Amino acid sequence: MAKQDIPLWQMTRLVAPGPVALVSLKYRDKVNLLAVGWVSVLSQTPPRLGIAIHPSRASHDLLRRSGQFGLSIPGRALAEAVARVGQLSGASGIDKFQAAGLTWAEPKLIEAPLVQEALAWLECAIVDTVEIGDHTLFVGEVLAARAEEAAFQDTWLLPEDEEMRPLHHLGGARYALLGQAFTVTLRKPDEAG
């Protein structure tokens, strides 16, 4: 197979076609919502994840001040809403929930609302921030996690109903759904060649 050179600015598209997320935050009376494609698991114990946010985003400063955020994992049904949220700026004062046709859901442990229509929710407290190149990595400790039973049981189920599959961002206006799940049978270590 022949490999082609990829512009370095597109390297993220090689390694980050993971679930897109809607990050919600609240600081005082200001609520904002932003679409992020750069989400990464950082630790299982304690449960921590990272989101990379550019300092020019209106939510960057609000995240620093609030000290917490909600992470909602959308399915296929929310693709257009995710794209709409990504187009809008929180600096304009627009209500992104309303503009994207999304509904607030009450969190258990944080102040920021969650996205009712999403497949899964994570509630996070910011425990660290790291300046990395042109983005800030916000490290969140996961305080609570919930998911639709029809979509997730130990892992994403990938049911026939595509509406129950997490939405993945490929870059630009391109999105995807995972297609097929399968299990690999491993040999015991003493049987390995």
- Which pLDDT tens digit goes with each residue over 162-180? 999 999 988 888 899 988 7
Torsion of the alpha carbons at 69, 28, 58 and 88, rounded to the nearest 10: 80
Beta-bridge mates of residue 130: 137
Amino acid at 149: E
CA distances from 149 to 61, 114, 124, 156 (A): 35, 17, 21, 10
- Which pLDDT tens digit goes with each residue over 12-35? 666 655 789 999 999 999 999 999
Q: What is the set of domains in the chain, with CATH numbers?
A: 8-191 (2.30.110.10)
- Which pLDDT tens digit goes with each residue over 72-116? 999 999 999 999 999 888 777 889 999 999 999 999 999 999 999
Query: pTM value?
Result: 0.88
